[in-house]
Amino acid sequence: MLLDNCILHQVTQYISESNEVFNERLAELEQSYNSMVARSEYTFDQERLDYLSNTIEEAKIEIASRSGTSKLSFAYQRMVATARRLVNADRAGCWEMHLRAIYDSLPIFAAAGQYNYLKSTYLYLQKMLSLPASNPEVRRKFEQGFHVVRRTNKFWCGIGSDLTIEQTLMRSLKTSGGLNRGSGIDEKQRAVWSLCAPVAAEYSMALQDRINRSRRVRSINRYLHRQSKGTGPISANWTNA
Protein backbone atom coordinates (compact mmCIF):
# COMPACT_ATOMS: atom_id res chain seq x y z
CA MET A 1 0.00 0.00 0.00
CA LEU A 2 2.81 2.41 0.89
CA LEU A 3 4.77 1.52 -2.26
CA ASP A 4 1.63 1.92 -4.35
CA ASN A 5 1.04 5.43 -2.99
CA CYS A 6 4.69 6.32 -3.51
CA ILE A 7 4.61 5.22 -7.18
CA LEU A 8 1.37 7.12 -7.79
CA HIS A 9 2.83 10.25 -6.18
CA GLN A 10 5.93 10.08 -8.38
CA VAL A 11 3.87 9.64 -11.54
CA THR A 12 1.49 12.49 -10.75
CA GLN A 13 4.43 14.74 -9.93
CA TYR A 14 6.00 13.87 -13.29
CA ILE A 15 2.76 14.73 -15.10
CA SER A 16 2.22 17.96 -13.15
CA GLU A 17 5.52 19.39 -14.38
CA SER A 18 4.33 19.55 -17.99
CA ASN A 19 0.53 19.24 -18.03
CA GLU A 20 -1.46 22.19 -16.70
CA VAL A 21 -4.79 20.66 -17.68
CA PHE A 22 -4.02 17.68 -15.48
CA ASN A 23 -3.29 19.99 -12.53
CA GLU A 24 -6.57 21.83 -13.06
CA ARG A 25 -8.62 18.63 -13.27
CA LEU A 26 -6.87 17.23 -10.20
CA ALA A 27 -7.56 20.40 -8.22
CA GLU A 28 -11.23 20.34 -9.28
CA LEU A 29 -11.55 16.71 -8.27
CA GLU A 30 -9.92 17.39 -4.90
CA GLN A 31 -12.30 20.29 -4.32
CA SER A 32 -15.28 18.08 -5.16
CA TYR A 33 -14.04 15.42 -2.75
CA ASN A 34 -13.62 17.93 0.09
CA SER A 35 -17.11 19.28 -0.57
CA MET A 36 -18.52 15.77 -0.57
CA VAL A 37 -16.89 14.99 2.79
CA ALA A 38 -18.06 18.26 4.35
CA ARG A 39 -21.67 17.94 3.15
CA SER A 40 -21.89 14.12 3.21
CA GLU A 41 -23.14 14.24 -0.38
CA TYR A 42 -21.87 11.91 -3.07
CA THR A 43 -20.91 13.60 -6.34
CA PHE A 44 -19.42 11.58 -9.17
CA ASP A 45 -17.64 13.14 -12.16
CA GLN A 46 -16.80 10.31 -14.53
CA GLU A 47 -15.25 12.60 -17.14
CA ARG A 48 -12.60 13.94 -14.77
CA LEU A 49 -11.84 10.51 -13.38
CA ASP A 50 -11.46 9.03 -16.86
CA TYR A 51 -9.16 11.85 -17.94
CA LEU A 52 -6.93 11.51 -14.87
CA SER A 53 -6.82 7.73 -15.15
CA ASN A 54 -5.97 7.75 -18.87
CA THR A 55 -3.32 10.42 -18.40
CA ILE A 56 -1.66 8.47 -15.58
CA GLU A 57 -1.64 5.26 -17.62
CA GLU A 58 -0.11 7.04 -20.61
CA ALA A 59 2.58 8.51 -18.37
CA LYS A 60 3.34 5.07 -16.94
CA ILE A 61 3.81 3.65 -20.44
CA GLU A 62 6.13 6.52 -21.35
CA ILE A 63 8.20 6.16 -18.17
CA ALA A 64 8.36 2.35 -18.46
CA SER A 65 9.71 2.62 -22.01
CA ARG A 66 12.77 4.52 -20.71
CA SER A 67 13.48 2.64 -17.46
CA GLY A 68 13.51 -1.08 -16.69
CA THR A 69 13.20 -0.42 -12.95
CA SER A 70 10.08 1.68 -13.50
CA LYS A 71 8.61 -1.03 -15.72
CA LEU A 72 9.18 -3.59 -12.95
CA SER A 73 7.62 -1.27 -10.34
CA PHE A 74 4.51 -0.72 -12.46
CA ALA A 75 4.17 -4.47 -13.04
CA TYR A 76 4.38 -5.06 -9.30
CA GLN A 77 1.80 -2.34 -8.71
CA ARG A 78 -0.63 -4.02 -11.12
CA MET A 79 -0.08 -7.39 -9.43
CA VAL A 80 -0.82 -5.95 -5.98
CA ALA A 81 -3.88 -4.13 -7.37
CA THR A 82 -5.19 -7.44 -8.73
CA ALA A 83 -4.76 -9.12 -5.34
CA ARG A 84 -6.50 -6.24 -3.59
CA ARG A 85 -9.35 -6.33 -6.08
CA LEU A 86 -9.82 -10.05 -5.45
CA VAL A 87 -10.01 -9.44 -1.69
CA ASN A 88 -12.42 -6.54 -2.20
CA ALA A 89 -14.66 -8.68 -4.42
CA ASP A 90 -14.90 -11.43 -1.80
CA ARG A 91 -15.43 -9.04 1.08
CA ALA A 92 -18.15 -7.09 -0.71
CA GLY A 93 -19.67 -10.13 -2.46
CA CYS A 94 -19.29 -8.59 -5.94
CA TRP A 95 -19.41 -11.38 -8.53
CA GLU A 96 -18.36 -9.33 -11.57
CA MET A 97 -15.35 -7.91 -9.75
CA HIS A 98 -14.45 -11.43 -8.63
CA LEU A 99 -14.42 -12.72 -12.21
CA ARG A 100 -12.42 -9.70 -13.41
CA ALA A 101 -9.80 -10.22 -10.70
CA ILE A 102 -9.58 -13.92 -11.55
CA TYR A 103 -9.09 -13.03 -15.22
CA ASP A 104 -6.33 -10.53 -14.37
CA SER A 105 -4.57 -13.24 -12.31
CA LEU A 106 -3.95 -15.46 -15.37
CA PRO A 107 -0.83 -13.62 -16.69
CA ILE A 108 0.55 -13.42 -13.13
CA PHE A 109 0.37 -17.22 -12.73
CA ALA A 110 1.91 -17.70 -16.19
CA ALA A 111 4.80 -15.32 -15.48
CA ALA A 112 5.46 -16.95 -12.10
CA GLY A 113 5.56 -20.43 -13.63
CA GLN A 114 2.59 -21.64 -11.57
CA TYR A 115 1.10 -23.72 -14.38
CA ASN A 116 -1.19 -25.79 -12.16
CA TYR A 117 -2.76 -22.59 -10.83
CA LEU A 118 -2.96 -21.25 -14.36
CA LYS A 119 -4.77 -24.33 -15.70
CA SER A 120 -7.17 -24.54 -12.74
CA THR A 121 -7.96 -20.83 -12.89
CA TYR A 122 -8.58 -21.00 -16.65
CA LEU A 123 -10.97 -23.95 -16.28
CA TYR A 124 -12.73 -22.25 -13.37
CA LEU A 125 -13.17 -19.06 -15.39
CA GLN A 126 -14.54 -21.01 -18.36
CA LYS A 127 -17.16 -22.77 -16.23
CA MET A 128 -18.20 -19.58 -14.43
CA LEU A 129 -18.59 -17.63 -17.68
CA SER A 130 -20.78 -20.41 -19.09
CA LEU A 131 -23.18 -20.29 -16.13
CA PRO A 132 -25.76 -18.03 -17.86
CA ALA A 133 -26.39 -20.82 -20.36
CA SER A 134 -25.72 -23.91 -18.24
CA ASN A 135 -27.25 -22.85 -14.92
CA PRO A 136 -28.79 -19.36 -14.87
CA GLU A 137 -30.25 -19.82 -11.37
CA VAL A 138 -26.79 -20.37 -9.87
CA ARG A 139 -25.49 -17.36 -11.83
CA ARG A 140 -28.30 -15.23 -10.42
CA LYS A 141 -27.47 -16.34 -6.88
CA PHE A 142 -23.79 -15.54 -7.41
CA GLU A 143 -24.65 -12.07 -8.70
CA GLN A 144 -26.61 -11.53 -5.47
CA GLY A 145 -23.44 -12.24 -3.46
CA PHE A 146 -24.01 -15.89 -2.52
CA HIS A 147 -20.61 -17.02 -3.85
CA VAL A 148 -19.09 -16.00 -0.50
CA VAL A 149 -20.01 -16.87 3.08
CA ARG A 150 -21.14 -14.24 5.60
CA ARG A 151 -21.09 -15.20 9.25
CA THR A 152 -22.36 -11.78 10.32
CA ASN A 153 -24.91 -9.41 8.80
CA LYS A 154 -22.40 -6.78 7.71
CA PHE A 155 -21.30 -5.48 4.32
CA TRP A 156 -17.53 -5.98 4.54
CA CYS A 157 -17.50 -9.50 6.00
CA GLY A 158 -17.72 -11.91 3.06
CA ILE A 159 -15.07 -14.64 2.90
CA GLY A 160 -14.50 -17.62 0.65
CA SER A 161 -15.82 -21.04 1.52
CA ASP A 162 -12.28 -22.38 2.00
CA LEU A 163 -11.55 -19.74 4.65
CA THR A 164 -14.86 -20.52 6.34
CA ILE A 165 -13.88 -24.18 6.59
CA GLU A 166 -10.51 -23.18 8.06
CA GLN A 167 -12.11 -20.86 10.63
CA THR A 168 -14.81 -23.32 11.74
CA LEU A 169 -14.20 -27.01 11.08
CA MET A 170 -10.39 -26.96 10.96
CA ARG A 171 -10.23 -24.69 13.98
CA SER A 172 -12.29 -27.13 15.99
CA LEU A 173 -9.97 -29.94 14.86
CA LYS A 174 -6.85 -28.19 16.10
CA THR A 175 -8.05 -26.67 19.38
CA SER A 176 -8.47 -28.34 22.76
CA GLY A 177 -10.88 -31.26 22.42
CA GLY A 178 -10.14 -31.69 18.71
CA LEU A 179 -8.53 -34.57 16.86
CA ASN A 180 -5.03 -33.10 16.92
CA ARG A 181 -4.90 -32.85 20.72
CA GLY A 182 -4.39 -35.76 23.11
CA SER A 183 -3.26 -39.31 22.50
CA GLY A 184 -4.91 -42.66 21.84
CA ILE A 185 -7.21 -41.46 19.02
CA ASP A 186 -8.04 -44.22 16.57
CA GLU A 187 -10.13 -44.40 13.42
CA LYS A 188 -13.34 -45.15 15.31
CA GLN A 189 -12.99 -42.08 17.52
CA ARG A 190 -12.28 -39.91 14.47
CA ALA A 191 -15.47 -41.11 12.83
CA VAL A 192 -17.51 -40.47 15.99
CA TRP A 193 -16.02 -36.98 16.39
CA SER A 194 -16.66 -36.06 12.74
CA LEU A 195 -20.28 -37.25 12.86
CA CYS A 196 -20.94 -35.44 16.15
CA ALA A 197 -19.42 -32.11 15.02
CA PRO A 198 -22.49 -30.82 13.07
CA VAL A 199 -24.85 -31.76 15.90
CA ALA A 200 -22.59 -30.10 18.48
CA ALA A 201 -22.44 -26.95 16.34
CA GLU A 202 -26.24 -26.77 16.17
CA TYR A 203 -26.51 -27.14 19.95
CA SER A 204 -23.87 -24.45 20.43
CA MET A 205 -25.64 -21.97 18.16
CA ALA A 206 -29.00 -22.70 19.80
CA LEU A 207 -27.54 -22.04 23.26
CA GLN A 208 -25.90 -18.82 22.11
CA ASP A 209 -29.18 -17.58 20.66
CA ARG A 210 -30.98 -18.58 23.82
CA ILE A 211 -28.83 -16.63 26.23
CA ASN A 212 -27.86 -13.93 23.71
CA ARG A 213 -24.23 -14.61 24.41
CA SER A 214 -22.75 -14.04 20.97
CA ARG A 215 -23.74 -10.36 20.81
CA ARG A 216 -22.45 -9.74 24.32
CA VAL A 217 -19.12 -11.46 23.63
CA ARG A 218 -18.59 -9.42 20.47
CA SER A 219 -19.27 -6.22 22.39
CA ILE A 220 -16.78 -7.23 25.07
CA ASN A 221 -14.13 -8.08 22.47
CA ARG A 222 -14.58 -4.75 20.70
CA TYR A 223 -14.34 -2.92 24.01
CA LEU A 224 -11.18 -4.76 25.07
CA HIS A 225 -9.61 -4.14 21.66
CA ARG A 226 -10.24 -0.40 21.92
CA GLN A 227 -8.86 -0.38 25.46
CA SER A 228 -5.70 -2.19 24.36
CA LYS A 229 -5.19 0.41 21.61
CA GLY A 230 -5.86 3.27 24.02
CA THR A 231 -8.82 4.57 21.99
CA GLY A 232 -11.74 3.28 24.02
CA PRO A 233 -13.60 5.24 26.71
CA ILE A 234 -12.95 4.33 30.32
CA SER A 235 -16.21 2.98 31.59
CA ALA A 236 -17.27 0.38 34.11
CA ASN A 237 -20.27 -0.55 31.96
CA TRP A 238 -18.20 -2.58 29.49
CA THR A 239 -21.14 -4.70 28.39
CA ASN A 240 -22.51 -1.73 26.42
CA ALA A 241 -19.20 -0.89 24.76
pLDDT along the chain (241 residues), means of 10: 81 88 85 76 74 90 91 90 92 93 94 94 95 94 91 84 80 66 68 79 76 62 64 44 39
pLDDT score for 44: 64
pTM (2 d.p.): 0.68
The pLDDT value given to residue 240:
41
Provide the pLDDT for residue 190. 75
At 117 the pLDDT is: 94
State which amino acid sits at residue 25.
Answer: R
Q: Which DSSP helix (H) or strand (E) runs through 53?
A: helix 46-66
Q: Give the residue among 98, 73, 74, 76 at the shortest CA–CA distance from 85.
A: 98
* pLDDT for the residue numbered 9: 86
CA pair distance 120, 129, nearest whole angstrom: 14
- For every residue of 3-20, DSSP letters joined together read HHHHHHHHHHHHHHTT-H
Q: What is the pLDDT of residue 229?
A: 63
By residue count, the chain amounts to: 241
For residue 124, the model assigns a pLDDT of 95
The letter for the amino acid at 184 is: G
CA-CA distance, 149 to 170, in Å (whole number)? 16
Per-residue confidence (pLDDT) for residue 63, from 0 to 100: 92
DSSP, residue by residue, 164-219: HHHHTHHHHHHSTTSTTSSS---HHHHHHHHHHHHHHHHHHHHHHHHHTHHHHHHH
| pLDDT in the model for residue 137 | 94
Pick from 2, 8, 107: nearest CA to 63:
8
pLDDT at 82: 93
